[in-house]
Amino acid sequence: MKRILFTVTNDLNYDQRMQRICTSLANAGYDVLLIGRRMKGSVELKKEAFAQKRLHCLFNKGFLFYTEYNLRLFFYLLFARMNVVCAIDLDTILPCYIVAVLRGKKRVYDAHELFTEMKEVITRPFVKKTWLAIEKFTVPKFKHGYTVSYSIAEEFHKRYNVLYEVIRNMPLALPLHDLNQQSGDTSHINKEQEKIILYQGAVNEARGLENLVDAMQYVDAVLHIYGDGNIYEKIEKLIRDKELKHKIILKGKLLLEKLQQATQDAYIGINLVEPIGLNQLYSLANKFFDYIQTGIPQVTMSFPEYKKINDEFNIAVLINTVNEKEIAEAINLLLKNAVLHNTLKNNCTAAREILNWQQEEKKLIRFYTNIFAD
């Protein structure tokens, strides 16, 4: 059986994109192994249709972590059974490249981000210089690859003359019934009464979360934040300082099924991106499609990829900046204008039949069919 190895730096449990990709390929008949790392607080791996492996590291962040993890990954890949190795983002690309060359194996690059344009990178000159050197060395040597948006694919072509496919971060299509009602389950809230605002995803820099907290001073509703990240404690403190604990609830991480239900119970979804670097400008976040699939209107950015989809389906209120007043105005518009909310909600119902993983995975399977035929 043809064996594909995927490499990430996370603990695997919450990586929805990789769970979808690996499941689709396993169901298509490939032998798939997803490799990540065991982190402090990692829970046991959920049984999947594909194999999983977590490497243990002594260091958990910074230069020492990346060095240690890449060395451990290199030696693991050196002896692992494989036909193709796929590096997910730049932080695992070097061992994948070196092992593929040494062993004469095919290599693929899956860019979830335009890594060298992330805020965490571009605001730190030495870090930016290091990752850019790695990108310039490796990406031109990966002729096979795919990424999450057309804008990022075009940027890779402009920089390195590589033609990468676009396989977007779309969720699995849910059953087409009233998303507020689950068979035999009466525990869900009445979203018309509660009108919960929901943010799901990484609680990281450049997501506009500080501004969202400030905006909630002008909104008469409750915000639930699902996720964790590098500014979680900062957001927690900001909520306390602004005396908004009655309005903003940090829910932490949830596994996919529970997060999906929480999203269905919300009234409005939030997807904010600060325009700091091309990665943010060209983004096309998972949550954008998750909100569509669960049938809730959202407030999102008027950036190229979001605007292109919204122009076609009209499923969101677009804003130009992450200014707190503009965020609050957009949220209040959806809270108070029931006609607009229902229009966007109905448009989500139509859009989710097209914008779902069952449609997108066809491109993924075709990609790997061609890889093995090459």
Each residue's pLDDT tens digit, 247-286 = 999 999 887 788 888 999 999 999 999 988 899 999 999 8
For position 206, what pLDDT does the model report? 87
Looking at residue 64, its pLDDT comes to 94
pLDDT at position 179 is: 46
User: Strand order in 31-38's β-sheet?
Assistant: 51-56, 31-38, 3-7, 84-88, 106-111, 145-147, 165-166
Q: What CATH code is carried by the domain that includes residue 248?
A: 3.40.50.2000
Same domain, 256 and 362: no
Tokens of 34: 């997803």
Please write the tens of the pLDDT for every residue from 126-163: 999 999 999 999 999 999 999 999 999 999 999 999 99
CA dihedral 189, 194, 197, 198 (to 10 degrees): -20
- Say yes or no: 212 and 269 in one domain: yes
Which pLDDT does position 254 carry in this prediction?
86
- Rounded-to-integer distance, Cα 25 and Cα 300, Å: 31
Q: Per the domain annotation, does 111 fall within a domain?
A: yes
Are 84 and 123 part of one and the same domain? yes
- Each residue's pLDDT tens digit, 101-123: 999 999 999 999 999 999 889 99
- Structural domains in the chain (count): 2
Per-residue pLDDT, averaged over 326-344, amounts to 98
Do 71 and 212 have their domain in common? Answer: no
Q: What is the pLDDT of residues 15-73, one digit of tens each?
A: 989 999 999 999 999 999 999 999 888 889 999 999 999 999 999 888 999 999 999 99
In a domain, 178, yes or no: no
Please indicate, yes or no, if residue 180 is contained in any of the structural domains: no
DSSP 58-101: S--SHHHHHHHHHHHHHHHHHHS--SEEEEESGGGHHHHHHHHH
Is the confidence at residue 182, as pLDDT, over 80? no
Strand partners, 34: 6, 52
pLDDT at 121: 92
Share of the chain above pLDDT 90, in %: 85
Does residue 367 form part of some domain? Answer: yes
Measured CA to CA in angstroms, residue 312 lies from 176, 308, 309, 358 at distances of 21, 7, 5, 20
Residue 217's pLDDT band (cuts 50, 70, 90): very high
Place of tokens 């068979």: 183
316, 366: one domain: no
| 183 vs 245: which has the higher pLDDT | 245
Q: Quick one: 142 and 243 in the same domain?
A: no
Establish if 66 belongs to a structural domain: yes
Rounded to the nearest integer, the mean pLDDT of the chain is 93
Please report, rounded to a whole number, the percentage of residues in the chain having pLDDT higher than 70.
Answer: 95
Q: Do 286 and 366 belong to one domain? A: no
Contact 222, 209 (CB under 8 A): no
**What is the structure's pLDDT at 332?**
98
Asked whether residue 163 is assigned to any structural domain, the reply reads yes
Pair 278, 309 in one domain: yes
Q: Is residue 363 part of a domain?
A: yes
Domain encompassing residue 163: 3-170+357-373
Could you tell me if 337 and 279 lie in one domain?
yes
**Beta-sheet pairing, 3-7 with 106-111:** unpaired
18 and 155 in a single domain? The answer is: yes
Q: Does residue 181 lie in a domain region?
A: no
Q: Based on the domain organization, do 302 and 165 belong to the same domain?
A: no
Cβ neighbourhood burial of 159 (10 Å; 0-12, 13-18, 19+):
middle
| Residue 141 vs residue 181, higher pLDDT | 141
365 and 347 assigned to the same domain: no
